[in-house]
Amino acid sequence: MTAQQKIAALIMGAGLFLVIIEMVRRRKLAEEYSFLWLLTGLCVIVLVLWYDLLEWLTHFIGAMTPTTTLFIFGFLFLMLINLHYSMKISRLGLQVKELAQKIAIYERK
Amino acid sequence: MSEKKCEQQLNNFAVIMPAYNEAGRISSTIAGIRRITDKDIIVISDGSTDDTAEEAAAAGAKVLRLPFNLGYGAALQTGFKYALEKGYEFAVQMDADGQHEPSGIKELIEPVFRNEVDVVIGSRFLDKGNYKAPFVRRMGMYFFGFISSVITGRKITDPTSGFQALNRKIMEFYASDAYPVDYPDADVIIMLHRRGYRFKEVQVTMHNAAKRSMHGGIIKPMYYIFKMLLSIFVTLLRKEDKL
């Protein structure tokens, strides 16, 4: 991994971290939804700074270059975040349905 | 203010109690409160799937039924919104599971009545009470107690206490979007401090309720610690939370 790649990854990781904190501060993002995002940013930072771990992981998953490993983990986190959303949306859908039904019944009363 | 009006106002408080599946316990909790005060008891059944709402209504409480489970903080906030709409001047929030000893209501509400403070928080540990929490939970309380003490510059012994008395001003704050409905505890104390509200702790008795803790398992306590640290951190960064 070149120094340039390292710096770019660090800036992205740290940037993500700061943007998420700022969104929580402005109440644009609930703490609950910030967890996976912050973890993603943190992992990128840790893996870039602790290069041995990144190399070990690269070897462990059989990837060719450390950048691939970073990509794979980034992709994995995005998948997890999407799964988290799918679960939440499913629940929200049910709740909206229940609320709409309750309101309809109350209005009729 | 005339004495009569003052008396009238002091009488104007409600006990607000969120309850999730507390059938079998809630009647005795309400009966316990009734022995102390005849004031209105507002129970918010948080999407309970058992007879919590029916039992509470039969025991004489005003019951609000949430159509599904919103969690402790949101249920509590529902109670504050209702109390504000109904014009109550003061409120006591307590748990439905019988953990909070109702005799504490008097000690809690009096400093608020006298307008000494805006919020009184019932503490288990102020006089080294006999409350025994499990080790991990005790460490959590100690840790967040320490953080809140450092930030507020005063000793906070029980930051997770949900046994509180408060006035209308605080009800309005608790009913606002600024109130963290997702596990409100140490972060709320820090928000109160940052917003310049007056609060104090008073020793109360709490029983070791035989309920499943909301911090059970491994993921939930981990999430709780993460959420509380993040919430406290962003509270310190927020300008609106500054005096």
Distance from CA of B48 to the nearest CA of A (A): 15
Place of tokens 């109670």: B79
Residue of A nearest to B232 (CA): A25
Looking at residue B154, what DSSP letter applies?
S
Q: What are phi and psi of B23, to 5 degrees?
A: -55, 140
**Contact between chains at A31 and B180 (C-beta distance less than 8 A):** yes
Residue owning tokens 């993921």: B219
Residues of A in contact with B230 (CB under 8 A): 21, 24, 31, 34, 38
Residue B3 to chain A, least CA–CA distance (Å): 43
Vertex B79: Cα angle to B200 and B59 (nearest 5): 105
What is the percent of chain B with per-residue pLDDT over 70, rounded to a whole number? 89
Contact across the interface for A24 and B182, Cβ inside 8 Å: no
Q: Do A31 and B237 touch (CB under 8 A)?
A: no
Q: Give the per-residue pLDDT at B133.
A: 74
Q: Give the A-side interface with B, CB within 8 Å.
A: 21, 24-25, 27, 30-32, 34-35, 38, 94-95, 98-99, 102
Decide if B122 contacts B104 (C-beta within 8 A).
yes
Tokens of B26: 């809630």
CA distance A109 to chain B (A): 17
Kindly report which listed range (A16-25, B5-14, B166-175) carries the lowest average pLDDT score: B5-14
Q: Is the pLDDT of residue B7 over 80?
A: no
Residue of A27, A31, A95 with shortest CB distance to B68: A95
Measured between its terminal Cα atoms, the distance across chain B in Å is 29
The structure's pTM equals 0.86
pLDDT at position A1 over 80: no
Closest residue in chain B to residue A91, using alpha carbons only: B68
By mean pLDDT, which of B52-56, B127-131, B192-196 is the weakest? Answer: B127-131
CB contact under 8 A, A32 and B182: yes
- Predicted confidence at residue B11, as pLDDT, reads 65
CA distance B71 to chain A (A): 13
Hunting for tokens 């993460």 — which residue is that? Answer: B226
Angstrom distance (rounded) from CA B170 to CA B91 = 9
Evaluated on CA atoms A105, B80, B78, B120, the torsion sign reads negative
Which of A70-74, A98-102, B162-166, B238-242 shows the lowest per-residue confidence on average (mean pLDDT)? B238-242
Residue appearing with tokens 């993500």: A16
Q: What per-residue confidence (pLDDT) applies to B165? A: 96
* Amino acid A88: pLDDT: 93
B214 token code pair: 């909301």
Reported as a single tens digit per residue, the pLDDT across B137-158 is 888 888 999 999 999 999 999 9
Token pair, residue B211, equals: 């309920």
The residue of chain B nearest to residue A95, with distances taken between CA atoms, is B68
Average pLDDT, chain B: 89
B212 or B228, higher pLDDT: B228
pLDDT score at B1: 44
Chain B nearest C-alpha distance from A45 (Å)? 18
Q: Name the band, by pLDDT with cuts 50, 70 and 90, for residue B214.
A: low
The pLDDT of B49-78, averaged and rounded, is 95
Query: Least CB-CB distance to A31: which of B68, B227, B238?
Result: B227
**Closest to B91 in 3D by CA, of B56, B82, B159:** B82
- pLDDT of residue B225 exceeding 60, the answer is yes
In the DSSP assignment, the letter for residue B202 is E
Q: Which residues on adjacent β-strands are paired with residue B63?
A: B43
